[in-house]
Each structure stands twice: as C-alpha cells, then as structure tokens.
Structure 1
Amino acid sequence: MNLKEIKGSYDVIVSLGSACNPAMELKRLNLRTFSGPLDWSVSLSLSDVNRLLKNKFNNFMELENMQLTDGAFAFANDGVGVQSYLIEDTHYNIISVHDFPIIPHQHWSATYTSYKEKLTNRINRFIEKITTSESVLFIRWAATYEQSLELQAILEQIVKGNFNILILCPEEGFKDVSEINWGIDKVCAVKVPRLPNDLETWNYVLEGITLSSRKQ
C-alpha cells in the first residue's frame, strides 16, 4: 500500500508503539478515542509486540516478570512535574514509563495494584475495539519488513473487520518522507527522519486520515 491508499476514515485508530509518540500525535490531531495498553510504554522491537498480540496479552506486566531499570522519566500531569520509575516487563521486553510515580520512601511496586487494574481495562477496551470495529488503523514507529509481515498475519487472525497498518521507519540523517514498497497487503511503510516528535512529519503522514462520523 502507499500513503494515498491508506488515507480515509476509520472507526478506530490505535498505536502499537514503539514509544509514546504515536499516541501523542493521534491525540493532538483528535484521532485518538481511548488509551491503549501500549500507548505509554516503550517496545523497542515489534517482534515483542507481535508476541504480545498473538498471546492476547497473557502474562503481560505480571509482577513476577517486572523489574526496575536504570533511570527515571519526567512528565507533566495537569501541569505538575512528575517523575516515574522505568519498569520493564522482562517476559515481553516492554517498559512502562509513566505508570509508576516516584514516591518518597515507597517501593516502586506500591502502586502496582491500581496500575494492573487500569492496564486490564485498557487491554479489554483495546481488544473490544479492534474486534468489533468495521475498520481499524494500526500505527507503529519503527519496524522491519519481516516484523511487519508477521504483524499483518497475526492481525488477520484477530481483527474481524477491515484493517490497515501504517509503519513509520526512521532513518538517521534522512530529511524527507518517502514511501517504501514492501508489497505487503494492508501495510503502508514510509521512511521518515529519526525525529519521533517532528510535527511536520506526523502532519504529512496522517493528513487525510480521519475518524468515521459514527465514532466521533
């Protein structure tokens, strides 16, 4: 698929990572209708996300598989600066970056129960949306041809309606947006600058993509 073919209206548009930027840009452009289970995490390899989807999120972010990683992440919550722990799910190699606030004299797992409840709700909503909607667009920052081919095959088994996949492939030093002809059904891949928060890139790639009127 090319960019022209992927333009159009979708019942739901969701992010598959690799970090927060796809979800943030969808929200900025009023294309995001709910918070998904991968929106506020880092998944460096689409292969891990593929495995997660294939397993229907089974054992995702279970406490026995989670560990504190080096560093912390600062973000604004209602205008207030908040720092959070970086917590990795070692089973799926996916890192939570927003969900475990640093609270003095408390272990990072002190807020796990409320986090897991929130995550379960996000997973259930995600599955419900992609299995009941007539049209779905999945967006992923950074993936290979092989990973995208695998993703397409997995989604064929999950999604009941029509779906497309938009892959943004960042390249260091590249300054334009160029389509990549992978020849994978339902997959549009574009080479973009390695600037995940570049508004010009996102505006260009997402131009002409809308939410269907019945979902707005």
Structure 2
Amino acid sequence: MRDLSSYNRVVIGLGGSCSVAYQIRRLGLRQASYPLDWFGMPDASLTASLIQSNFSSFMERDNLDILGITDNGLYYHVVDRKWDCHSFHDFPVVEGEPPLYNYELYYQTLQKRIHRFSDDLRKDKPVILIRMGYIQRDIPLLEEAISVIRQYPFDLLLINESHACKQPELIAKHKSTLQYLMPNGPSWYGNDDAWVKLACEVLKIEESGSKLGLE
C-alpha cells in the first residue's frame, strides 16, 4: 500500500456492519459521512452492485420494511429489502409519531452522502475504503465497482472477524487490497484494541491518545 499517513487522505467506510463507521470515528479518522455508514449489509457482492449502480433506488421508501425495534428501544430496525441493507440508527422511535416520520429529512441527508462519496472518490487524494465482511469472490467485484468511479489508485481494506484470532492478522495482499482477520469484540462495535493495532499497522498512525483522537 502507498503511504496513507498524509493529512489529506480520505477514509471511507463500506459498511458490512456498523463497527466500521464507529471505529473510524473513534480513531479520529472520520472526516465526513458517507452513505454506507451505520448500515448492516452482509452481502459484499450486493454492496459492489450498489456502488456500481450509483446507489440506484437505495433506501427508497417503497423498498423499506420495519422489522422491529432495536435492543436499546431507541430506533426502528428497518431493512431495504432490494439491497438487503439494515438500518439501526436512522429512524428513531418517538412517542406520538408514526414509524419513519423523519423519512424525507433522512433521505435528503442520504443523497448528500451519496454525492460526497462519488465526489471524494473522484478526487486526486489518497483514498482507503474499509469493509467488514466478505468472501473471496467478492473482492474483484468490489475492486471493479470502485474503479468505475475512481480513475486514480485506491486502497481497499477488507476485514473478517474470528473468535480464534487474537490480534489483527494480514492473511492476503493483492495489489492495493489487504485482507485482515480481526478478533471479535464484546459487542457490535468490535474490538477496540485490535482496531488501534490495525490502524497503526495499515494507516501508519501513532498509537497514542492524541493521535488517535481517544482523549
């Protein structure tokens, strides 16, 4: 991978689970919001198709189903059934208001994030995209989808979690795509210590509170 330590690099989460957006923010690497932040989207091949379609019909109202309420009781668990994309943080439960009462405002915000995603991928800046969850046949699909938008080189970090893993482990590298195995964390947000080690190894940042934004 190229040197990604420059202040002007762009770090973009490609979802898979909410842990990616959470950890990017926790580590002080998050500069902006992007469309796949805070979504559970288990199928990486669908993620590739979504990117290549320029997020066509993504989270449109007619495609949404309410599956329940999140464990903390604060949000509706909503799925975009076309893209198998699960929202856990976008549609709050508010007494006296119907489900998805804030949909129009949410959708406007989502469109801004989609435009930012495309704009930032087109810029001549160092870019690394991070995705949690994949299988081998998904990799060329993701690389191709990103290449449709971006004419410059980019770096792709793909992560799977395993209870048998004790620390971040590089399991494969091909061109600018890195595949890592990561120990599971105690909850949805992942293993904080492992993410720090991964950020230091891959993003070349210093393991200190001030550098990682952990003060």
TM tier, shorter chain?
0.7 to 0.9
Task: State the secondary structure of the residue aligned to 2:154.
Answer: strand
Q: How many residues end up aligned between the 2 structures?
A: 199
Structure 2 distance, partners of 1:97, 1:43, is 11
Q: 1:156-199: CA deviations, max 9, x gaps?
A: 22112220001111123322322112x53221001111225211
Structure 1 distance, partners of 2:32, 2:2, is 21
CA shift, 1:136, in A, is 0.8
Q: 1:77-96: CA deviations, max 9, x gaps?
A: xxxxx701011101101011
Task: State the secondary structure of the residue aligned to 1:9.
Answer: coil
* Corresponding residue for residue 105 of structure 1: 96
Q: 1:112-153: CA deviations, max 9, x gaps?
A: 111101111111111111112422100011111111221012
- Are positions 1:150 and 2:141 aligned together? yes
- Are positions 1:26 and 2:24 aligned together? yes
After superposition, the CA RMSD in angstroms is 1.9
AA aligned opposite 2:198: V
- Are positions 1:206 and 2:199 aligned together? yes
Structure 1 distance, partners of 2:167, 2:30, is 25
* Corresponding residue for residue 14 of structure 2: 16
The aligned runs of 1:38-57 (5 Å cut-off) are 38-57=36-55
8 Å CA contact retained: 2:49, 2:145: no
Q: Residue 210 and residue 130 in structure 1: after superposition, are their counterparts in 2 closer, same or farther (change >3 A)?
A: farther
Find runs of 4+ consecutive structure 1 residues off by over 6 angstroms: none
Q: 1:7-30: CA deviations, max 9, x gaps?
A: 533620110111221112111222
CA shift, 1:31, in A, is 1.0
Structure 2 distance, partners of 1:55, 1:133, is 22
CA shift, 1:37, in A, is 0.8
More strand by share: 1
Q: 1:189-216: CA deviations, max 9, x gaps?
A: 01111225211110111115269xxxxx
Tell me the TM-score normalised to structure 2 length.
Answer: 0.85
* Corresponding residue for residue 186 of structure 1: 176
Aligned-residue sequence identity (percent) comes to: 24
AA aligned opposite 1:28: R
Q: Please, which moves more after superposition, 20-29 or 93-102?
A: 20-29
Structure 2 distance, partners of 1:8, 1:55, is 28
Tell me the TM-score normalised to structure 1 length.
Answer: 0.85
* Corresponding residue for residue 211 of structure 2: none
Structure 1 distance, partners of 2:2, 2:159, is 13
Structure 1 unmatched ranges of 5 or more? 75-81, 212-216
